[in-house]
Structure 1
Amino acid sequence: MIVVHSLAYSRAVRVVWLLEEIGTPYDLRTYDRTEAYRAPETLKALHPLGKSPVIEDDGLVLAESSAVLRYVNEHYAGGRFAPEPGTQDHARHDEWLDGAEGSFARSIIASFWAARSGAEMEARMRDELARNMAYLNAVLSERRYLMGDGLTLADIQFAYLLAMAEKTGALAPYADVLTYWHRLSREPALRRALAKTGPMMPERL
């Protein structure tokens, strides 16, 4: 059985959501954050980076949520949460899946830490956040999910970042992104995942 190591308020909810979508059994092990909002040292015993999510499966220890999502999709879902490999749609899907953390995360996380500390967000980060959100809003004005009408790994990957952005008020100017986030938040499998992992964001910043 696949083991998921889940840190509170972390990206691990992505993996649990996908496993709930698939309906495959898993062993969830949860960890609290420290008072400094960091991962506990016990996670470093599993993986040198001390990150979450980390999964264990048949001798494999794997971190990085996009890598874990791909692995679970390929080994437990028959690949159905991504377009067919070798197609242009698959390449576009990978652009979203990797772009979530590659292009979008930095400015969203900067807005979160600025709000949490009460500090002013750097101007370049504000500009990057606005540019990213405007692009995402334009795309979502024409489709229900990032790749069209069906849920994919890319949507699952984005949910955590959108929860963070909503917490800081960053989604308010972008109606189509906000509608999309509300749609994702109503997904039954995500609700089941959150019932087990706890919320993606703390109640108070």
Structure 2
Amino acid sequence: MTLTVHHLNNSRSQRVLFLLEELEVPYEIRRYERNPRTMLAPASLRAVHPLGKSPVVTDGDRTLAETGAIMEYLATTYGDGRLMPQPGSVERERATYYLHYAEGSLMPLLLLQLVFSRLPQQPPKLLRPLLRPLLDGIGRGVDRQFLGPQLALHLNFLDRELDARPWFAGDSFSVADAQMSFPLEIAGLRLKALGAALPNLQNWLDRLRARPAYARALERGGPYEIA
């Protein structure tokens, strides 16, 4: 059987490559490029999965979608006891939590921030000079009143979570850290909030980027160009 990652540039599928490199599992990449105007995935992804979203992984006759489900499947199927803590342990509970938290709680806020930051560019070119100040004001207002405070709440929560342990599930790098890599890369790029105010998160991100598997995944998948 051939394990194939259907990889969209600048997307959640980058952390799937990261996990596979950590597990040292052979895989192939099938590449897809976003539409440069809409930033959406190409229609050809629908031939793999009806929603046409990334990531999608095919493993023999299995087609797997949704990042958390993919990460859990890869860690339990190919991990041989690595990167997925033992069932019933506190570490497993934390790992499961972060597999869901990354997409269920943190990513929606980051996506909303991206959408509102691009509002001024959405009107037709001829109308932009007229509408840009209005749309820019709306975006700034939403960020100031809702998105900014909510993201600060989450980032401070995550920083405190790392007070007692170096990695999100416990003392060792796990699937939870691979799952959290994508939203926190975006947070680091967009919020410029990782640093002196959030030292545990900055240290975590530095250690994550220093892992050989991280470098190999970037080499195969390409760097993030999200900021």
TM-score by length of 1: 0.92
Task: Give the structure 1 partner of residue 57 of structure 2.
Answer: 55
Task: Give the structure 1 partner of residue 13 of structure 2.
Answer: 12
Shift of 1:88: 3.1
Unaligned runs of 5+ in 1: none
Task: Give the structure 2 partner of residue 174 of structure 1.
Answer: 198
The CA deviation string for residues 154-202 of structure 1, in whole angstroms up to 9 with x for no partner, is 1001111111111112434422212211211111101100111111333
Segment drifting more, 101-110 vs 14-23: 101-110
Where do 1:29-178 residues align within 5 Å? 29-35=30-36, 36-117=38-119, 119-120=139-140, 121-122=142-143, 123-168=145-190, 169-172=192-195, 173-178=197-202
Structure 2 vs 1, CA of residues 125 and 148 (structure 1 numbering), >3 Å: closer, same or farther?
same
Amino acid across the alignment from 2:45: L
Shift of 1:76: 1.2
- In 2, the alpha carbon distance for the partners of 1:92 and 1:143 equals 12
Q: Does structure 1 residue 201 correspond to structure 2 residue 225?
A: yes
**Count of residue correspondences:** 203
Identity of aligned residues (%): 34
The secondary structure found in structure 1 opposite 2:25 is coil
Structure 2 vs 1, CA of residues 61 and 163 (structure 1 numbering), >3 Å: closer, same or farther?
same
RMSD, aligned α-carbons: 1.7
Unaligned runs of 5+ in 2: 120-135
Shift of 1:135: 0.6
Shift of 1:143: 2.0
The CA deviation string for residues 21-64 of structure 1, in whole angstroms up to 9 with x for no partner, is 11121111111110211111111111111111101111001111
Contact 2:5–2:28 at 8 Å: present in 1 too?
yes
TM-score by length of 2: 0.83
The secondary structure found in structure 1 opposite 2:151 is helix
